[in-house]
Structure 1
Amino acid sequence: MSTDISLTTLLLLCLAAAGAGWVDAVVGGGGLVQLPALLVGLPGAPPVQVLGTNKAVAICGTAAAAVAYARRAPLDLRTAFRVGLAALGGSLAGASLAAGIDSAVLRPLIMAVLLAVLAFLLLRPSFGVTARAGEVPTRRRVAVAVLVAGLGIGFYDGLIGPGTGTFLVLALAGILHMDLVSASGTAKIVNVCTNVGALVTFTLQGAVLWQVAVPMALCNLTGGAVGARMALKRGSGFVRGVLVVVVVALVCKLALDQWGW
């Protein structure tokens, strides 16, 4: 495919990448902004090139956010990498089965889960606002996090994908009793682990449009760094508000994919 696109289109894609990086750094779900923008901006590109380019862009903002969180928030890096390695394995397994799964069957189930999550967030306003003081996760809780947030959500990421970062934040906060800021930071590290494997695969397939990906990646990186700093500065209450908005957006996006207009 020719990557000769207009300067206006490239600038709009870069703006979308910056916004996606910000959203993803705060609570996950940046793909809701970036992937549709790439589909519109690159209408002649094969889907695999759109996905590969999206992954090359997204990993930059995620990595920048992970570094910002790791420097300024009290993250349990050992646990984060354990969950991340499990998620890498889960995403590879999910990707290997993706071609044989009808996503139209999965979307209603995912929407039901998201609606339950939304109801939970609205009915439990204290969820994730503060961590349990002095609590150290037990080995059992860490093992559950590895299985659910690592293998389970990693598998979902490889299989279908939308909202992976949001699910990670919710799972980590619920299982390990993290506040939402720490959960967001840990989720970024896990996302970096899963994205590395996918990006290597896409790169080996020649499915990344680097002429588009590089300028978008710089903007995504900037958005990710700014989003992480805002989340760290404003705290879990701010993250929770963004989380509610992103969950609603995910439900609407999946409903649109399932039933159209």
Structure 2
Amino acid sequence: MCPPPLPGTTAGPCHGGSPTIAPVATDISLTTLIVLCLAAAAAGWIDAVVGGGGLLQLPALLVGLPHTAPAHILGTNKAVAICGTTAAAVAYSRKAPLDLRTAVRIGLAALGGSLAGAFFASGIDSAVLRPLIMAVLMVVLAFVLLRPAFGTTVADAAPPSRRRVLTAILVAGLGIGFYDGLIGPGTGTFLVLALAGILHMELVTASGTAKIVNVCTNVGALVTFTWQGAVLWQVAAPMAVFNLMGGALGARMALRRGSGFVRAVLVVVVVSLVCKLGYDQWGG
């Protein structure tokens, strides 16, 4: 069964045509490309520390490529983001005490959840969901600020119970994966919070686990966008190099400076996400 054409694409081989795409503007200045690369590096750093790098990278692509079809922006963003996420996941897996088996199980569930979310996305009014998401984020922000020890110490040194692991698979995997496919902003941040809260992980360990889950969801999305011909590889390739470097640097800083540093970045990212969603709801 073939996926439907994405917005801004023409029929692919499954729809009786060749894998062509709608015309897009690909001639960009060197200055614009440099700015996009710097934004990709910063996004990779943010995403590696606590998630939410897309809050910077996606708007940068929208501004830098104003005449490009939305499908190509999203596809190019995924092609770039997966490089930094993978670099961060590798860095964390080498240094942080990650449970790779649990991370992969949650990641596979998130992959299924994101596919389901994408299926229902066209029938959901995001203007209705944004206020709900902002309310949840405000509760999360209050929780993090009022509980300074959250994510800085492990409550139980024993391995998590099967019940907790199953809850993490359902919530962080299927639930947040569904949200990623449905809307997307702040998925990495939600993953960190869910993993720290459900499995009692330190924030550094939660960030590393979240990167592995993100790799799984990004692979599925990138395969779809590539199949539809909706990736501007000439733009994505140089940005990916910078995103990879930013992701590797962010992971090393988080590992070196510990959960207190990650917590501070988490607060900034949650506030930024609330402001971004608020602007999209009332100011856009």
Query: Which TM-score applies when normalising by structure 2?
Result: 0.91
For 2:274, the equivalent position in structure 1 comes to 251
Count of residue pairs the alignment pairs up: 261
For 2:12, the equivalent position in structure 1 comes to none
User: 1:126 is matched by which residue type in structure 2?
Assistant: A
- Contact 2:156 2:200 (C-alpha < 8 Å) held by counterparts: no
For 1:177, the equivalent position in structure 2 comes to 200
Offset of 1:100 from its aligned partner? 1.1
Offset of 1:130 from its aligned partner? 1.4
Is 1:9 aligned with 2:32? Answer: yes
Offset of 1:111 from its aligned partner? 0.1
For 1:236, the equivalent position in structure 2 comes to 259
For 1:204, the equivalent position in structure 2 comes to 227
- Matches of 1:130 and 1:141, distance apart in 2: 18
Is 1:153 aligned with 2:176? Answer: yes
Q: Which has the higher contact order (CA 8 A, sep 6+)?
A: 1
Of 187, 191, 210, the residue aligned with 1:164 is 187
Offset of 1:49 from its aligned partner? 0.3
Secondary structure of the 2:153 match is: coil
Query: Which TM-score applies when normalising by structure 1?
Result: 0.99
For 2:129, the equivalent position in structure 1 comes to 106
User: 2:144 is matched by which residue type in structure 1?
Assistant: L
- Matches of 1:125 and 1:69, distance apart in 2: 24
User: 2:278 is matched by which residue type in structure 1?
Assistant: A
For 1:260, the equivalent position in structure 2 comes to 283
Higher helix residue share: 1
- Contact 2:25 2:65 (C-alpha < 8 Å) held by counterparts: no
Instruction: Deviation per CA, 1:182-214: give whole Å up to 9, x if none.
Output: 000000000000000000000000000000000
For 2:157, the equivalent position in structure 1 comes to 134
User: 1:164 is matched by which residue type in structure 2?
Assistant: T
Secondary structure of the 1:99 match is: helix
For 1:216, the equivalent position in structure 2 comes to 239
- Matches of 1:161 and 1:130, distance apart in 2: 29
For 2:143, the equivalent position in structure 1 comes to 120
**RMSD in angstroms over aligned alpha carbons?**
0.7
In structure 1, runs of 5+ residues without a counterpart are none
- Matches of 1:2 and 1:126, distance apart in 2: 49
Offset of 1:51 from its aligned partner? 0.3
Offset of 1:133 from its aligned partner? 4.7
Give identity over the alignment, percent. Answer: 81
In structure 2, runs of 5+ residues without a counterpart are 1-23
Identify the range of structure 1 (98-107 vs 129-138) with the bigger mean alpha-carbon deviation.
129-138
Instruction: Deviation per CA, 1:136-192: give whole Å up to 9, x if none.
Output: 100000000000000000000000000000000000000000000000000000000
For 2:10, the equivalent position in structure 1 comes to none
- Contact 2:88 2:248 (C-alpha < 8 Å) held by counterparts: yes
Secondary structure of the 1:203 match is: helix
For 2:90, the equivalent position in structure 1 comes to 67
Instruction: Deviation per CA, 1:6-48: give whole Å up to 9, x if none.
Output: 0000000000000000000000000010000000000010000
For 1:93, the equivalent position in structure 2 comes to 116
Offset of 1:63 from its aligned partner? 0.2
User: 1:16 is matched by which residue type in structure 2?
Assistant: A
Equivalence map 1:20-35=2 (5 Å): 20-35=43-58
Offset of 1:131 from its aligned partner? 1.5
Secondary structure of the 2:123 match is: coil
